[in-house]
């Protein structure tokens, strides 16, 4: 089985390269073993993320959004189907996961070192990345000296330091207050437009999904399936309170409620 999956994954990677996509998920299912038996979490997911595209994954709690992200990241293997990516993705979690004994700059340099960047080039590159996330001068600051929003900026800079073509983000702003989250929405949009990195962003916040994405993908309640997709044809930069954002968010919210009702979740 493992050999079959490896062969399929290789084929998907070649297909991703040929069609110029950052990630290709083909007929992916995932089950976990529980005391009650096999539990199907994802069922026959097929999804492409195009080069330079910003896609948000939306769905009720427990629908398998984070599971799918972990599969794309290579942290776990699908039970069926294949996943191909254009190179190794970078992953950003809800928690910043910074090493508290390192400075902001050294946290970024660690990613640069693991990437194989020569020592003499690491600090200048780390400072460039800090400037990109608007933390110029924060190289020597310890993690405890940074606010929650600043820590997430450093985590974003560290993810970008991996120089990946695909950035995976698992509800990275969920724990932040509304104003800080709003500011980081602006910053992420700016950075995405400047770098043209492809983004697959998991959230349960409908307005966040619409504000950020070019395409919103709704997963059904467990087992997660692609229930519907929306192309977000609203000019960037957007505000979360914009009328067009609110209108599309209301449509998606109603669809999400329908999925929850269909699957008997409350």
Long-range contacts of 6-14 (CB under 8 A, 24+ apart): 8/81, 8/82, 9/82, 9/83, 9/84, 10/84, 11/82, 11/84, 12/82, 12/83, 12/84, 13/84, 13/85, 13/86, 14/84
Pairing, β 21-34 against β 90-92? unpaired
CA distance linking residue 110 with residue 211, whole number of Å: 32
pLDDT of residue 91: 92
Encode the chain (266 residues) as per-residue pLDDT tens digits.
333 333 344 444 444 544 479 999 999 999 998 887 788 999 999 999 999 999 999 988 888 899 999 999 999 999 999 999 999 999 998 778 899 999 999 999 999 999 899 999 999 999 999 999 999 999 999 999 999 889 999 999 999 999 999 999 999 998 888 998 899 999 999 999 999 999 999 998 999 999 999 999 999 988 889 999 999 999 988 998 999 999 999 999 999 988 877 766 54
Structural domains for the chain? 2-89+164-262 (3.40.50.300), 98-163 (no CATH)
Nearest to 139 by CA among 149, 120, 153: 153
Radius of gyration of the chain (CA): 19
CA distance linking residue 86 with residue 88, whole number of Å: 7
pTM of the model: 0.87
What token pair was written down for 140?
A: 């020597």
Spatial neighbors of 262 by CB under 8 A, at least 6 apart, are 220, 221
CA end-to-end span of the chain, whole Å? 37
Nearest to 206 by CA among 222, 225, 230, 186: 230
What is the tens place of the pLDDT at every residue in 194-242?
A: 999 999 999 989 999 999 999 999 999 888 899 999 999 999 889 989 9
């Amino acid at each position: 089985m493992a050999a079959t999956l490896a062969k399929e994954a290789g084929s998907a990677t070649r297909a991703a390269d040929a069609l110029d996509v950052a990630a290709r998920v083909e007929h992916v299912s995932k089950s976990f073993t529980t005391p009650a038996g096999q539990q199907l979490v994802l069922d026959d997911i097929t999804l492409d993320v195009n080069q330079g595209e910003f896609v948000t994954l939306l769905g009720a709690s427990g629908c398998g959004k984070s599971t799918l992200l972990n599969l794309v990241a290579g942290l776990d293997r699908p039970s069926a189907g294949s996943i191909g990516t254009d190179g190794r993705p970078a992953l950003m979690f809800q928690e910043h996961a910074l090493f508290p004994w390192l400075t902001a700059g050294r946290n970024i340099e660690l990613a640069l070192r693991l990437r194989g960047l020569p020592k003499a080039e690491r600090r200048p590159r780390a400072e460039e990345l800090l400037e990109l996330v608007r933390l110029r001068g924060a190289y020597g600051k310890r993690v405890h000296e940074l606010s929650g929003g600043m820590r997430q900026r450093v985590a974003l800079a560290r993810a970008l330091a991996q120089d990946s073509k695909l950035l995976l983000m698992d509800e990275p702003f969920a724990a932040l207050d509304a104003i800080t989250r709003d500011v980081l929405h602006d910053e992420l949009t700016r950075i995405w437009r400047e770098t043209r990195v492809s983004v697959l962003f998991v959230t349960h916040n409908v307005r966040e999904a619409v504000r950020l994405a070019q395409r919103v993908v709704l997963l059904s309640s467990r087992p997660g399936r692609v229930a519907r997709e929306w192309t977000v044809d609203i000019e960037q930069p957007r505000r979360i309170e914009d009328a067009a954002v609110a209108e599309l968010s209301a449509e998606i919210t109603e669809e999400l409620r329908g999925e929850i009702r269909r699957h008997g979740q409350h």
